[in-house]
Structure 1
Amino acid sequence: MFRGLVRAEAGMRRAMLVIFVALATFTAALVGGFFHATRTADEAIRAGERQLLENQIEVTVRGLMDTQTLQVTWDDAMRNAGQGHRIDPTWTDTYFGTFLTETLGANAIYLIDPQGELLRSWEGGNSGRPSRYRALVPQVRAALRIVDSDTSLSGRPVTYRQLTDARWPFGADGRPLRRRYGGLIDHHGRPALMTVITVLPDSHFELLRQRPNLLVTVRDIDPALLARIGGATLLTDLRLERGPPASTRRNAMAMVDGNDRELGWLTWQPHVVGPLLLVRTAPLLAGYILFYCLVLAIGAVGIREAIRVSRELAASEARAQHIALHDSLLGLPNRTHVMQRLTALLEECRDSGEQVVLAYFDLDRFKAINETVGHHVGDDVLVQVAERLRRTLRPGDVLGRLASDEFVLVRRGADGRTCADELGAELMALFAEPFMVFGQTVAITVSCGISWGPEQAADAKAVLRNADVALFEAKAKGRARYRRFTAELDATIRWRRDIEGELRRAIACDHLAMAYQPIINLADGSIAGFEALVRWHHPERGDISPGTFVPVAEQSGLMPELGEWVLRRVFADSHDFGLAEISINLSPLQLVTRDFVGTLRRLIGEECVDPSRFSFEITEGVLLDRSQRVLDLLAELQDMGFRVALDDFGTGYSSLAYLRTFQFDRIKIDRSFVQGIESDIDAQSILRAIVALGRTLRMKVVAEGVETLLQQQLVHAAGCQYVQGYLYWRALTPEQVIGLLATDKVRSYRLAV
């Protein structure tokens, strides 16, 4: 008994020791956490003060622009200083130089034309020296590029009206919108606020006939302005310094211009709360430590603590088990859990005669959603998809998530084929209704492959593999549909996957080739350029059509690699083609990849080519959603010097809307409008209408697929300037192109717009 008592006492001592160590550790963590919390609070206050100061500077800039707007949005201002170089010096000196200097406290005011050339200047209300403006020219022109991009308008543009030299945005009330800019600049070695606002009429809008002049106002950040900003933000001792403060006791914010160039630092005395909290809570902290010292004398606390720890461990084990078998984002069973449930269901149905149907589906083009608008939007889409799927589950169904956007739904049924069709139709109907994502309606479709067992496969891995094969076929058939697994389908998918692997090797080993079909100028029969076409001669399968391997590349994610290979080869071949223009087809999947522009710039530098020699042909698939990102990307390609053509024009239902959305350099009439044109009067009328539309929109028009002389004559009669087709040449090898360009019959001609 004594030994038992000793063992119990030793156990109690060990328990008390454990409790003491645990409480001491907890107390140390609490004290450390308190100091960390005070530091965190002080840093949060400092960050809030910096944000407050940044906001106040923006408010100050807007105030300068609003005050300046009252003076420049005026019919008299438009007549005396608004357009061209006909400036009334007396009027501008009074209403711009004197009035705005006194009203805004501006250090310098400049009246400039739309190109940034100085028309008149004032400093301190008097006429300024033009030489003082020269130092600001780079910063002013950088601001003009932002002004001309319409990213900072005074309202939402509803329409654009054509001036003599530009298109100008107008609002819903019929008034021209102001183009303006405000920000920080370096003004002769000192940080300053600069605003740029267009001169516009306020009632007689017919005065706006050409791009208007602009008024530039510069306000140095001097002690008076700092005092006003400090008073508005309640920041103590606000100073302007060259660099960051040497003492960490002062809060600071760097002032940078639009190019992230450091102009100076604003420093001030922050309102910290850490020391005050430390003084006021020190007695409480001491009492807390004393309290826990007293608690150590009570043995029952140790027992309860042990029980609590035991319970927490049990709960933690249960959570770990749940996490191991469920998806963390959606709470759905993961692959491991799904395979366990599927195996159990197959065993249950082995003797009952029932079938276990598995639908394997994923979201179409989900990767593009993540890349274009961000993973947070993609996660919100997945959450809504899971919620919608849960509402349709039947008792006994298993819904799981295998990967990013890949889901499975398992259901028991008497007949596998019938249950598969019902489940597939149910899933397609489930995604027919669009989703609401961050206030915007987004249409999302799924591709689905369905298999069942034990009839088609006896084990869970085989059932899932068969469903994956059917899913691949659904994607190959155009997505937004479901397909049942069949033995024939398995063989077809294996062939496609073989092609995918061989295409991957062909790209890596440079086994593809380029061909070039001439584009003919009907005016004189000269070659206006070439269309680049990729070719693949397989050593065993022979020639494989682009219509076969390009879709495989798009479905398997190889399109970026194939597109980069084509661009590099065309750029390299172009060095031997003189000044001939070359058209390159861009896949929608290639264009929307995140690093497309970066890859393009790198290839331009590596191959040393002139972008103005190349045209990118895109199909309507690129513009299906007409998102601002796609339109900005096409505009960026034009800014780089490339031309952009709309290929296969007329085959989609919204071609005219695309022409209204983006200013293409050229439209290419689909060959379906040319084939059979000899006997189709309606086709001839449509062709003439397309050509007339292209001319009206100042776009070149190319007709492809011209194979007979009569087709060529009818296309020419319709007014089409350029054609290509077998009537002239089939696609040529680079060597044949070089030989063709070397003949005396071919003249150098460019499809210039």
Structure 2
Amino acid sequence: MSEEQRTSWIIGATFAALLALSAALLAAFSHSIHVADAFTRKEEQVMVSRYLEGRMRGLIVAQTGLLIWDETMRRAVLGRDLAWMDRELGSFPWTNQRAQESMLVHADGKLVRAWRFGRFAPDYNYGALRWQVEAVLAAARRNHRLTGKLGQFRQLDDTLWPMASSGAPLSRWAGTIIWRGGCPFLITAAAIVPDQTYALLTREPDYFITVRMIDRTILRGVGADLLLPDFRFAAALPRSGTVNSIPAHSADGTPVGFFLWTPQLPGPSIWRGTAPLLVAYILLFLLALGGGTLIVRRMWRTTRELVESEAQAQYNALHDALSGLANRLHFVERLKAELAVLVEEGGEDDVFVAYIDLDAFKTVNDTMGHHVGDELVKQVARRLSGRLPESDLIARLGGDEFVVLRRASGGQGAANALGRQIIGLMAEPFIIAGHSLGVTCSCGISWGPAQTDDPGELLRRADIALYRAKQGGRAHFRSYTTGMDASEQMQRELELDLRRALAANELDACFQPIVDLATRRISGFEALLRWPHPRRGAISPGVFVPIAEQSGLMVPLGTWMMRRVFTQCRDWPACDISINLSPLQIMAQGFVETIAGLVDETGIDPHRVILEVTEGVMLDRSEHVAHLLRTLQSMGFRIALDDFGIGYSSLSYLRAFQFDRIKIDRSFVQNIETDRDAQSILSAIASLGHILRMKVVAEGVETESQRRLVHMAGCEMVQGHLFWPALPAPTRRARCSIRTAT
């Protein structure tokens, strides 16, 4: 074989091998993309299925106040009070949940009464729907979906019934989608059970049925929540294979239709991004056979790519991945450099450090999801970058914390201008997923080298100023002053003193009367924690409670307070005792065991104690909080919702948790004499409390005029300095049965 033939054979074999290798790589790459697309489709299907299941469960949870209620058991299941049924079972689901149709049916599926658009429907065509209802009832009897955690079964006259570990009956429910009149409908069925008088449940109870049309408005809402803009429902799958779908079946397994949407597949993006590299790879090996020149060019191109990759890696090391802003390392290096230049050059310029923290960012994450929180961080970064001067360095330190570096002259005046500019940038709401979020920020400012030429100290001082700004409320900025360090030292000293006071039992409990406006007598007392400091005098709870929360003392402080109040009030004449619970106490591990131990230790009657919780606790809608509150109620404690109206008030948790009373925050009472809006809001809250069978207490009543106005608004009880301030226990005990002054 000649040298030329040998060379041709080598070139041909190399070409064939490279061609086969390239084909294998392309096939493997195509298969990988196909697997990624299939995985994405499956993940989307699971996400949609879980979301629809959650929406259906949410509808049932919103009805638990009506379904798990002695009154419904007596008036609807046992008594057949038609007027009451038309109002509660007919009107309520339509006005509050937009259920076009509702029914009360026997356990065997026989119709008791039906309503359409909130009104009694004597001509209701139940025969066409009965087989669907019976199929849903059969699904409910499988006990797959219950309103609580199954603990046991109880034998009724005609069936076994699911019960909680506490002995309370659980409502079992089911839901399905049906096709009716050319439109999809959601039909749900839930059993009616008592909430307190368990003996009312002797046989399988009646079921409450609701029927809702799944219209375009509902589908658009689902699509907005899941970020699937074209989410829709169809009776059959389209011929196009580009859509993703999940089938919908009725309770008996009959196909109803399909939920459809356009999947967000990674495959096309991967192809567009990697196809040029694959082509370059193939051409590289093919053209390498043509000569050394092309090999050299390719080597040069590879070297350039490595340089760009190194530059990208260096960029990534100095920038935040989510926002694209500089990170802490980049900011500190720039701050060091700027300070060094100013120290060396002298002059009148300073480097200003503005430490920024978003107000209520945790609430956005908890209530709307972390994806909304991430989008908010991105929009804040874009707004700061787009509206602050290009010479400013903007960095994200993590979470919702940002920092701005600006070189300028003017000292305090320049700091104030920077603070006003940053606060003003946050005045305009952010639009995220169709929601308008009015998110403000707090800002702390320091500058150097006028204050200090240490970069770490500048950041620390800006952080201290930020903390002081947040103490002043939302949308505030503060500049660092030397007195702030003294304040920090004071807080550290108070923390040590508080630890010693707790260990030495130097705290005290005082009691403020709660007056029944109808009888003009004291109906109970609210226990208030006081700290008579031996050197500093009386220290306000507004000062030492935040210190306790930040230092981890809130749980032992709350336990001490409950033990003191239970001990002091154990032998008082018959009257209610209210005591505040911190969210940190409630969420602490073993809280129920702790309070049960205190009851055994002190001998207090839990039925006399009202535990007050704030609306912040209710933002955590987990089963843990619901179970904990129900456990406390089963122990005999009553639950009050404190400071109602100033937080994220929700009618859904008012019904779901069934509080014994709500306390209206003093901010509504203080302005009631001059503010018509405050009077209207107070009346509305009082009316809401009465509708939900809760007593309403107004706090902070200080004048006779305020007493008359809150009484006219519908408040049943009041407390405030008009009657007495909070006084020590012996004085309070003597006043339990005394008529109040008017």
Q: TM-score normalised by the shorter chain: which range applies? A: 0.5 to 0.7
Q: Answer whether contact 2:326 2:394 (CA < 8 A) is retained.
A: yes
Instruction: Work out the CA distance in 2 between the residues paired with 1:589 and 1:618.
Output: 10
Aligned to 2:709: 689
Instruction: Work out the CA distance in 2 between the residues paired with 1:55 and 1:424.
Output: 42
Alignment of 1:349-748 (within 5 A): 349-350=342-343, 351-353=345-347, 354-499=349-494, 517-521=512-516, 528-535=523-530, 544-552=539-547, 560-562=583-585, 564=587, 576-578=603-605, 580-593=607-620, 598-599=624-625, 601-602=627-628, 605=631, 609-611=635-637, 613-623=638-648, 630-638=650-658, 641-648=659-666, 649-651=668-670, 655=678, 656-657=680-681, 660=684, 663-664=688-689, 665-671=694-700, 673-674=701-702, 677=703, 684-694=704-714, 699-707=715-723, 725-726=724-725, 730-732=727-729
Q: Answer whether contact 1:361 1:471 (CA < 8 A) is retained.
A: yes
Q: Answer whether contact 1:517 1:731 (CA < 8 A) is retained.
A: no
Deviations 1:440-487 (A, max 9, x none): 332222211111111111121111111111111111122321111111
Q: Answer whether contact 1:356 1:416 (CA < 8 A) is retained.
A: no
Give SS of 2:418's match. Answer: helix
Deviations 1:618-659 (A, max 9, x none): 243214xx5xxx332333222xx5432223242366543365
* Amino acid in the other structure paired with 1:651: Q
* Amino acid in the other structure paired with 1:342: L
* Amino acid in the other structure paired with 1:110: L
- CA positional deviation for 1:119: 11
- CA positional deviation for 1:293: 8.0
Aligned to 1:225: none
Is 1:233 aligned with 2:237? Answer: yes
Q: Per the alignment, do residues 472 and 370 of structure 1 end up closer, same or farther by CA in structure 2, a change over 3 Å counting?
A: same
Give SS of 2:320's match. Answer: coil
* Amino acid in the other structure paired with 2:27: V
Instruction: Work out the CA distance in 2 between the residues paired with 1:540 and 1:19.
Output: 92
Aligned to 1:223: none
Larger radius of gyration: 1
Q: Per the alignment, do residues 425 and 310 of structure 1 end up closer, same or farther by CA in structure 2, a change over 3 Å counting?
A: same
Q: Per the alignment, do residues 381 and 299 of structure 1 end up closer, same or farther by CA in structure 2, a change over 3 Å counting?
A: same
554-563 vs 655-664, greater mean Cα deviation: 554-563
- CA positional deviation for 1:39: 4.8
Instruction: Work out the CA distance in 1 between the residues paired with 2:586 and 2:434.
Output: 35
Alignment RMSD (CA, Å): 5.9
525-534 vs 567-576, greater mean Cα deviation: 567-576
* Amino acid in the other structure paired with 2:636: D
* Amino acid in the other structure paired with 2:401: E
Instruction: Work out the CA distance in 2 between the residues paired with 1:436 and 1:230.
Output: 31
Q: Per the alignment, do residues 298 and 610 of structure 1 end up closer, same or farther by CA in structure 2, a change over 3 Å counting?
A: farther
Deviations 1:349-386 (A, max 9, x none): 11322211111121111111111112222222222222
Alignment of 1:47-196 (within 5 A): 110-112=111-113, 183=176, 195=187
Instruction: Work out the CA distance in 2 between the residues paired with 1:403 and 1:434.
Output: 22
Aligned to 1:245: none
Q: Per the alignment, do residues 18 and 632 of structure 1 end up closer, same or farther by CA in structure 2, a change over 3 Å counting?
A: farther
Q: Answer whether contact 2:415 2:445 (CA < 8 A) is retained.
A: yes
Aligned to 2:272: none
Q: Per the alignment, do residues 134 and 577 of structure 1 end up closer, same or farther by CA in structure 2, a change over 3 Å counting?
A: farther
* Amino acid in the other structure paired with 2:446: S
Is 1:34 aligned with 2:30? Answer: yes
Deviations 1:604-627 (A, max 9, x none): 54896235x23222243214xx5x
Q: Per the alignment, do residues 507 and 303 of structure 1 end up closer, same or farther by CA in structure 2, a change over 3 Å counting?
A: farther
Instruction: Work out the CA distance in 2 between the residues paired with 1:339 and 1:127.
Output: 71
Q: Per the alignment, do residues 702 and 458 of structure 1 end up closer, same or farther by CA in structure 2, a change over 3 Å counting?
A: same
Instruction: Work out the CA distance in 2 between the residues paired with 1:651 and 1:33.
Output: 70
Instruction: Work out the CA distance in 2 between the residues paired with 1:456 and 1:356.
Output: 10
Aligned to 1:681: none
- CA positional deviation for 1:322: 0.6
Give SS of 1:622's match. Answer: coil
* Amino acid in the other structure paired with 2:609: I
TM-score, length-scaled by structure 1: 0.57
Instruction: Work out the CA distance in 1 between the residues paired with 2:26 and 2:738.
Output: 86
* Amino acid in the other structure paired with 1:323: N
* Amino acid in the other structure paired with 1:35: H
Give SS of 1:362's match. Answer: strand
Give SS of 1:650's match. Answer: helix
Deviations 1:387-406 (A, max 9, x none): 22223333532222112211
Instruction: Work out the CA distance in 1 between the residues paired with 2:508 and 2:250.
Output: 50
Instruction: Work out the CA distance in 2 between the residues paired with 1:304 and 1:509.
Output: 81
Give SS of 2:462's match. Answer: helix
Give SS of 1:615's match. Answer: strand
* Amino acid in the other structure paired with 1:668: V
Instruction: Work out the CA distance in 1 between the residues paired with 2:44 and 2:484.
Output: 62
Q: Between Structure 1 and Structure 2, how many residues are aligned? A: 536
Instruction: Work out the CA distance in 2 between the residues paired with 1:135 and 1:30.
Output: 54
Instruction: Work out the CA distance in 2 between the residues paired with 1:313 and 1:291.
Output: 19
Instruction: Work out the CA distance in 2 between the residues paired with 1:666 and 1:86.
Output: 24
Q: Answer whether contact 1:529 1:583 (CA < 8 A) is retained.
A: no
TM-score, length-scaled by structure 2: 0.57
478-487 vs 465-474, greater mean Cα deviation: 478-487
Counterpart among 303, 325, 329 of residue 310 in structure 1: 303
Instruction: Work out the CA distance in 2 between the residues paired with 1:46 and 1:364.
Output: 37
Q: Answer whether contact 2:339 2:448 (CA < 8 A) is retained.
A: yes
- CA positional deviation for 1:315: 1.2
Give SS of 1:402's match. Answer: strand
Q: Answer whether contact 1:530 1:583 (CA < 8 A) is retained.
A: no
Deviations 1:143-200 (A, max 9, x none): 999xxxxxxxxxxxxxxxxxxxxxxxxxxxxxxxxxxx97259xxxxxx998479xxx
* Identity percentage of aligned residues: 29
Deviations 1:115-143 (A, max 9, x none): 9x999999978999x9x899669679999
Instruction: Work out the CA distance in 2 between the residues paired with 1:384 and 1:537.
Output: 48
Q: Per the alignment, do residues 407 and 289 of structure 1 end up closer, same or farther by CA in structure 2, a change over 3 Å counting?
A: closer
Instruction: Work out the CA distance in 1 between the residues paired with 2:374 and 2:547.
Output: 28
Instruction: Work out the CA distance in 2 between the residues paired with 1:381 and 1:42.
Output: 31
Q: Answer whether contact 2:669 2:706 (CA < 8 A) is retained.
A: no
Aligned to 2:274: none
* Amino acid in the other structure paired with 2:662: V
- CA positional deviation for 1:320: 0.8
Q: Per the alignment, do residues 490 and 323 of structure 1 end up closer, same or farther by CA in structure 2, a change over 3 Å counting?
A: same
Q: Per the alignment, do residues 631 and 49 of structure 1 end up closer, same or farther by CA in structure 2, a change over 3 Å counting?
A: closer
Structure 1 stretches lacking a partner, 5+ long: 1-16, 58-80, 88-106, 146-180, 186-191, 198-212, 219-228, 236-250, 258-262, 269-286, 678-683, 708-724, 748-753
Q: Answer whether contact 1:108 1:123 (CA < 8 A) is retained.
A: no
- CA positional deviation for 1:36: 3.3
